[in-house]
Every structure is written in structure tokens, then in C-alpha cells.
């Protein structure tokens, strides 16, 4: 019974193994990126950037169909362009960066959906919006694994200035000129992981594997290293659990992965030892006694 429920799907079907490997690689890179987005109070920026890559990916689709290189290059170019454009608008106008990002991402989402829907079928539109984690091929797996490797290596290189930029950006600017470069590298890594997530989970769900594990991990630990490790662990657990649920209940795989991540978040919200509701309630009762 245990074998049939938890292991047989991956032992019997290659597409399930591919989906699991791709989702694990995605979680290893995206979850730590989500941790730093959360620490920088930029959680909604991830959602905006996920939508921002859509028109570039749609243009890649328009040129070459469901081609991995074309959609990847298009999505990466669009994501970086929106990030730079939103920053430029924030610096040169009265609008704040969150408002300019919101405007850019709404336009990007509408434009991308329009391009895909006018030149493709409903199946193609669903593929772009919700991904196809069960249809990952070798090329897609190599891309996602490569993005995870680059992300982890880059975080190891820029960790100190990145952490300082999260805690006290003004101090970093006073002692070093690396702040702008670190921010640009970080945003590039976010876009890269969203592009990888786009191929597996689609533009609407890619940010879920980035932010939900990070938010859940923060409710259990506060140390930065532990936060990244726990977030990646939650991302891997969500990927495995979501694929199991999808297989046995005949549900779409991408949404199932994000739903399991949401369940982990809700459990953490109640029982998390570093800020869950039960911990705070117990502390209040202790103080009242």
C-alpha cells in the first residue's frame, strides 16, 4: 500500500520522474530567491515579474512555437526589461516602484495572453499560463537544473552584500558602491528562476514555488542559512506531495504542487515555532497567568 501510494508512480512512469526532478531543481533555486524577496519586502514583486515575462515568452512562441530556447530568451528579455523599466519610472517620475511594477505587469499579462490566444489554441494558452510539469523533456530539465546551479553559486558569491542590502541598504551605500550591482544581479536571478518556473508551472503559478515555501519557512526559523534550507525543503516536499496528489486524484500537476505548498504554509501559520499563531497564543496565556 505504501509503495503503491508514494513510490510506484515514480518507479513506473518516466514522465513522473522527470516532473519530480524538474520540480526539485526548481525548488532548490527558487525558494532561496523567495527568501531574499521576502526579507527585502518585495514579495509581490515576484508576482509582478512572473507576469512580466509572459509577453516575451509569447513572442518567442509566435516566432518558433512551443520552442524552449525561443520562449526562454523572450521571457528573460521581457522580465529584465520590465524590471529596468519599472526602476527607471520610479526614479524619474512621482510613481513609486510598486505602482510602476503593477502597471507594467498588468500590461504584460494582457499583451501576452492576447498574443498567445490570437495565434494559438486554447491548449497552447493553458500551457503558457499553467505550465506542463508532466511534459518536461531533457532540454527543459537541463535548463531548470542550470538555472538552479547558477542561482546557488551566485548567492554564495554575493551573499554578504545581499544580506546587508536587505538589512541596511543605506549603510551598504555608504561603505560600498556594490549595492546597485548586487540588486541588478539579484533581480536577474529572480527573473531566471521565474523563467525556469514558467516552463514547469506556467506564468500564473511560477511565483508560488518561490514565495510560499519561503513564507512557511519564516514561521519556523529565523536564521538566514536555516531559512534558505528549510524553504528549499518545503519546496521539495510540495513538489513531491503535489505530484502524488495529482497522480492519484487525476488533478493538474502544477496547481497541485502549489496547493500542497499552500497547505504547508497554512500549517506553518498555525504551528510554526518562530511566529505561528499557536506559539503566540501560548505566550499570551503564559503572560496572563
Residue 25 DSSP symbol = H
Quote the pLDDT of residue 204.
Answer: 77
Residue with cell 531543481: 25
Residue 144's Cβ-side half-sphere holds a number of Cα atoms within 13 Å equal to 27
**pLDDT exceeding 90 applies to what percent of the chain?**
39
Non-local CB neighbours of 224 within 8 Å, separated by 6+ positions: 35, 39, 163
- Could you list the beta-strand ranges (E) of the chain: none
Rg of the chain (C-alpha set)? 20
Q: Which fold has domain 2-204?
A: ABC transporter involved in vitamin B12 uptake, BtuC (1.10.3470)
21 CB neighbour count, 10 Å cutoff: 16
Which set of grid coordinates corresponds to residue 17? 520522474
Closest CA to 231 of 59, 3, 37: 37
Cell of 280: 503566540
pLDDT digits (tens, 9 = 90+) for 212-242: 999 999 999 989 899 999 999 999 999 999 9
What cell was used for 35? 527568501
Cα dihedral sign for 43, 47, 52, 57?
positive
Taking the C-alpha atoms of residue 203 and residue 131, their distance in angstroms, rounded to an integer, is: 7
Sign of the four-CA dihedral 188, 189, 195, 201: negative
**Do the Cβ atoms of 274 and 253 come closer than 8 Å?**
no
What was the pLDDT predicted at 220? 94
Q: Give tens-digit pLDDT for 160-219.
A: 888 888 887 777 777 777 777 888 889 889 989 999 998 889 877 889 999 999 999 999
How many other CB atoms sit within 10 Å of the CB of residue 275? 14
E strands within 20-166?
none
Confidence of residue 245 (pLDDT cuts 50, 70, 90): very high
Q: Running DSSP on this structure, what letter comes out for residue 134?
A: G
Among 229, 212, 151, 218, residue whose Cα is nearest residue 187: 151
Grid cell 518558433 in the structure block, residue:
64
Residue 65, all three cell numbers: 512555437
Mean pLDDT, rounded, for 285-289: 53
What DSSP element (H or E) covers 139? helix 138-167
Amino acid at each position: 500500500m505504501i509503495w503503491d501510494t508514494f513510490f510506484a508512480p515514480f518507479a513506473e512512469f518516466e514522465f513522473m520522474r522527470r516532473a519530480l526532478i524538474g520540480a526539485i531543481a526548481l525548488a532548490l533555486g527558487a525558494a532561496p530567491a523567495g527568501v531574499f524577496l521576502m526579507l527585502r519586502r518585495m514579495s509581490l514583486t515576484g508576482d509582478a515579474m512572473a507576469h512580466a515575462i509572459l509577453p516575451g515568452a509569447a513572442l518567442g512562441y509566435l516566432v518558433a512555437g512551443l520552442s524552449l530556447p525561443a520562449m526562454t530568451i523572450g521571457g528573460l528579455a521581457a522580465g529584465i526589461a520590465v524590471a529596468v523599466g519599472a526602476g527607471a519610472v520610479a526614479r524619474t517620475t512621482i510613481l513609486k516602484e510598486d505602482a510602476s511594477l503593477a502597471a507594467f505587469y498588468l500590461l504584460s499579462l494582457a499583451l501576452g495572453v492576447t498574443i498567445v490566444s490570437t495565434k494559438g489554441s486554447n491548449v497552447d494558452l493553458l500551457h503558457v499560463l499553467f505550465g506542463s510539469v508532466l511534459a518536461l523533456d531533457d532540454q527543459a530539465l537541463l535548463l531548470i537544473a542550470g538555472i538552479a546551479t547558477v542561482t546557488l553559486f551566485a548567492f554564495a558569491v554575493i551573499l554578504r552584500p545581499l544580506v546587508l542590502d536587505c538589512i541596511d541598504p543605506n549603510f551598504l551605500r555608504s561603505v560600498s558602491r556594490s549595492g546597485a550591482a548586487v540588486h541588478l544581479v539579484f533581480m536577474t536571478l529572480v527573473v531566471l528562476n521565474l523563467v525556469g518556473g514558467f516552463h514547469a508551472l506556467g506564468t500564473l503559478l511560477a511565483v508560488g514555488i518561490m514565495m510560499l515555501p519561503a513564507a512557511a519557512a519564516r514561521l519556523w526559523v529565523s536564521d538566514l542559512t536555516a531559512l534558505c534550507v528549510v524553504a528549499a525543503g518545503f519546496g521539495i516536499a510540495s513538489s513531491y506531495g503535489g505530484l502524488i496528489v495529482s497522480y492519484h486524484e487525476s488533478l493538474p500537476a502544477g496547481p497541485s504542487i502549489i496547493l500542497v505548498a499552500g497547505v504547508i504554509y497554512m500549517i506553518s501559520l498555525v504551528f510554526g515555532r518562530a511566529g505561528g499563531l499557536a506559539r503566540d497564543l501560548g505566550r499570551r496565556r503564559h503572560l496572563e497567568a
